[in-house]
């Protein structure tokens, strides 16, 4: 009896050893490489899932960044289970993780309270060495793991750390799938499959529910922005015009109004609107956030108007 028990323990220990070795091997083959070229961060991602490697490349283009380094950016990527409730419950109903690309990107730039870094001597571009940028950045996620088709359902979603994901897609192109989005801050991103209908109701007369939802998101973000009353009324009026045009299914007018909204946000950035993000997290980048949400709304309206 003791011999059987001893053999069982040895077998279990061997299995655990092999499992740990496999996990260690997988971790060793996970690779995220960040290179900086001027105001652009380029990232090569290779994540091993135990059977194959899932690849992607990401680029983030900043406006007037300071102290943009791979260390400061703190870019991370990991594989997640497409059915993990901790992730799935953060996505809207009808938005799913494609098993071919279950990649969660986390960007939480580091904040250094002084100029002494654990890694040793650093070269500072200015200020206190912390990352900062103006307005919105453009993020592009490109992968050959997914297949592009006209009317593609793939979207770039963003979330605060551990919070609910929302759509920031400004464009999706082929090659194989190349999604772009803009925002004024971070932290988590996924390329997901959005199967929600863009129109709900009678064929040809349905309400453009996704675009209208984005209008509401923009309205809420405007409420939270630090603006003078005249600018707030102007932007709210433009957004009301977009909403009215969408309800009438007048997508051409909706595009004109959202383009004017984007123009005014960029004109007021830095003067009538706060437009800086920095890793101290002590500033609110209203212009960058609103610009990103408005461009995502524009993409939805373009699709309703017959765009790709």
Residue 49 belongs to some domain of the structure: yes
- Taken in order 216, 218, 224, 229, the sign of the CA dihedral is negative
The parent domain of residue 264 ranges over 209-304
Same domain? 43 vs 156: yes
Neighbours of 28 (CB within 10 A): 9
* SS3 assignment, position 226: coil
Same domain? 244 vs 285: yes
Same domain? 176 vs 255: no
Same domain? 160 vs 276: no
Residue partners of 95: CB distance under 8 A and separation at least 6: 155, 157, 165, 192, 193, 194, 195, 196
Same domain? 187 vs 55: yes
Total domain count, the chain: 2
Residue among 127, 108, 129, 126 nearest 118 (CA): 129
First and final C-alpha spacing in the chain: 70
Same domain? 34 vs 177: yes
Q: Where among 194, 229, 262 does a domain terminate?
A: 194
Peptide bond into 80 cis (omega under 30): no
Same domain? 246 vs 143: no
* pLDDT, tens digit only, all 308 positions of the chain: 444 444 444 444 444 433 434 444 444 356 999 999 999 999 999 999 999 999 999 999 999 999 999 999 999 999 999 999 999 999 999 999 999 999 999 999 999 886 544 444 444 455 679 999 999 999 999 999 999 999 999 999 999 999 999 999 999 999 899 999 999 999 999 999 999 999 998 766 789 999 999 999 999 999 999 999 999 999 999 999 999 999 999 999 999 999 999 999 999 999 999 999 999 999 999 999 999 999 999 999 999 999 87
Residue 285 belongs to some domain of the structure: yes
- Taken in order 59, 60, 61, 65, the sign of the CA dihedral is negative
Q: Where among 194, 227, 242 does a domain terminate?
A: 194
Residue 3 belongs to some domain of the structure: no
């Amino acid at each position: 009896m003791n011999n059987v028990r001893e053999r069982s323990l040895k077998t279990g220990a061997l299995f655990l050893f092999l499992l740990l070795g496999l996990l260690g091997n997988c971790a060793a083959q996970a690779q995220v490489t960040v290179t900086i070229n001027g105001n652009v961060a380029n990232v090569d991602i290779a994540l091993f899932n135990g059977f194959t490697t899932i690849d992607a490349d990401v680029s983030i283009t900043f406006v007037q960044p300071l102290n943009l380094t791979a260390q400061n950016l703190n870019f991370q990527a990991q594989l997640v289970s497409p059915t993990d409730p901790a992730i799935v419950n953060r996505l809207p109903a009808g938005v799913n993780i494609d098993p071919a690309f279950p990649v969660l990107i986390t960007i939480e730039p580091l904040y250094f309270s002084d100029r002494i870094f654990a890694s040793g001597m650093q070269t500072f571009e200015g200020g206190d060495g912390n990352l900062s940028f103006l307005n919105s950045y453009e993020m592009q996620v490109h992968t050959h793991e997914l297949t592009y088709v006209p009317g593609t359902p793939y979207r770039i979603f963003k979330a605060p750390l551990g919070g609910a994901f929302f759509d920031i897609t400004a464009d999706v192109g082929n090659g194989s799938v190349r999604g772009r989005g803009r925002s004024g801050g971070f932290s988590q991103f996924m390329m997901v499959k959005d199967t929600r209908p863009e129109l709900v109701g009678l064929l040809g007369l349905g309400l453009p529910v996704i675009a209208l939802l984005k209008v509401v998101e923009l309205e809420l973000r405007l409420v939270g922005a630090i603006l003078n009353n005249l600018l707030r009324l102007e932007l709210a009026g433009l957004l009301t015009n977009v909403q009215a045009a969408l309800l009438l299914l007048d997508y051409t007018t909706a595009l004109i109004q959202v383009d004017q909204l984007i123009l005014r946000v960029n004109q007021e950035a830095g003067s009538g609107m706060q437009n800086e993000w920095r890793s101290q997290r002590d500033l609110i980048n209203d212009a960058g956030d609103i610009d990103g949400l408005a461009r995502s709304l524009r993409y939805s309206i373009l699709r309703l108007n017959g765009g790709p």
